[in-house]
Structure 1
Amino acid sequence: MWPRGAARPGPGATPTTWLADIAVWAPHLRVYSVDLIGEPGLSAPTRPELGSDEHERWLDDVFDGLGLERAAVLGMSLGGWLAIDCATRRPDRVVKLALLAPGGIGRRTSGWMVKALPLFALGAWGRRRVVGIVTGADLGPMRDAIAATFRHFRPRVEIPVFDDATLTRLTMPTLVVVGDRDVMISSAETVRRLASTVPHADVRVLPGVGHLVQGQARAVLEFLR
């Protein structure tokens, strides 16, 4: 069992995304859930350019500050992109890599915006509808909290796609879980590219699931153990 793990949420999200999952992991692992710089939460209000080495240097500081030489790393969406970036730049510090609907592998799709953009003009009700379209999930009361966040926060729009040479540097044990109804990222392309660049990865496609991949705490725990 890896004694420590670091979890990273997606754009516009905070570590509260992982509360239910951490309850499953905490009896077995030491879990650090980190606010991403440039995203909502208590981290620094600065937004480094994706693709530069600034996030990697920041994560080095996070690891050092927590006293971690190496750790298993988990990320969702943008957090998945950052986890990949960290694992390809500093593979010596990432013992295992778990990714939920990660950015940076499959192309980012834009068809959902046709439905979503007019809804932003309809106030809080419209933002709640957008949250449902983007996540593909019924979030209940959490939907209102997310919608309120996006009233004041502008998420990243462009997330770079890693080239094949970069992805082949993911030599550590890797778990990737995607939904086949993800409207944000092409899951089919994610699966195809991983098959050719990271053939050892355990890639799972969940039927009927959108961009927000939920209910995978046990699967992630078994992988990390």
Structure 2
Amino acid sequence: MNIYTSPEAARAVERSYRELLGLWPVPAEHVRVPTSQGETFAVVCGPEGAPPLLLLHGSGSNGAMWLGDVATWSRRFRVHAVDLIGEPGLSAPSRPPLEPDVYAGWLAEVVTGLGVGRAAVAGMSLGGWMALSYATRHPERVSALALMCPGGIGRQRSLPALAALPLLALGGERGRRRALRLILGPHTPSGDGAAFMELIQRSYHYRRDRLPLFSGEELGRLTMPVLMIAGDRDGMIDSGGTRRRLGRAVPAADVRVLPGTGHLLPPQTHEIMHFLEATHA
């Protein structure tokens, strides 16, 4: 499956991603796990024997999105930052249908291949949907669940993406940055992070399928501690609907909606660390 606009674009994204991996702030291993959906790449760091933490990034991204978090999280946890299949990382480009059973099965293979048993899972957006797929199918294997603007609970919005298309069509750095801000909200990256996002934006074919919503019965299977953080101005996911549905299905969940915040949250490193430490005391 060709997820890039050209072979040259694929090489440019991979080259830039490898450069960012060279900035990983703590010693790390690069691990490749064979699965039925193709090889899956993960960056592993933190003390051996520490409680495992699985990280699942958002759409159009890869493990580099955790560069600002892993130095803190890996002090206490054995971190496994997984590149999702079908995304612009170093995992297989395969894109099976967006069905929870399919991705829960793939993630179960990855976890087993990493030698991980019960683990905490943190996921952003698409990664949040995949984390929910896994946690609702294998709740006994998830010690805690941290979700950032997750898909699959509140309805998915498309108007911001449609409004951004003319800006993308105009081309140029200014147009692409305005498009990113429209889609992701005010907390868009700067510097190397912004340049890498813009490279992906012009080099990569984003998924177009809508994320299936989890039923109330499925969400009710989340028996582990749950933290959900969303932005009240999320243009991609209905954060109000997400808060209400998760609150009804999992009354014990810690549900937070940040004011003045879009789909891309400001850093939540310490908030998530406090949650994980409290659940692994």
What TM-score bracket applies, with the shorter chain setting the length?
over 0.9
- Normalising by structure 2, what TM-score? 0.77
Instruction: Give unpaired runs (5+ residues) of structure 2.
Output: 1-49
Residues 1-225 of structure 1: pairs in structure 2 closer than 5 A:
3-125=51-173, 126-136=175-185, 137-141=187-191, 142-157=193-208, 158-225=210-277
Q: Of the two structures, which has the highest relative contact order with CA contacts closer than 8 Å and spacing of 6 or more?
A: 1
Separation of aligned partners in 2, 1:218 and 1:204 = 14
Q: Runs ≥4 in structure 1, deviation > 4 angstroms?
A: none
The Cα offsets for residues 58-85 of structure 1, whole Å up to 9 and x where unpaired, read as 1111111111111000000000000000
Note closer, same or farther for the CA distance 1:35–1:178 as it changes in structure 2 (3 Å cut).
Answer: same
- Normalising by structure 1, what TM-score? 0.95
Amino acid at match of 2:176: R
Amino acid at match of 2:179: V
Identity of aligned residues (%): 49
Cα pair 1:128 1:144 within 8 Å, conserved: no
Q: Which structure has the larger Rg over C-alpha atoms?
A: 2
- Alignment partner, residue 8 of structure 2: none
> SS of the residue aligned with 1:98?
strand
How many residue pairs are counted as aligned between the two chains?
Answer: 224
> Over aligned residue pairs, what C-alpha RMSD do you find?
1.3
Separation of aligned partners in 2, 1:128 and 1:28 = 36
Separation of aligned partners in 2, 1:148 and 1:95 = 36
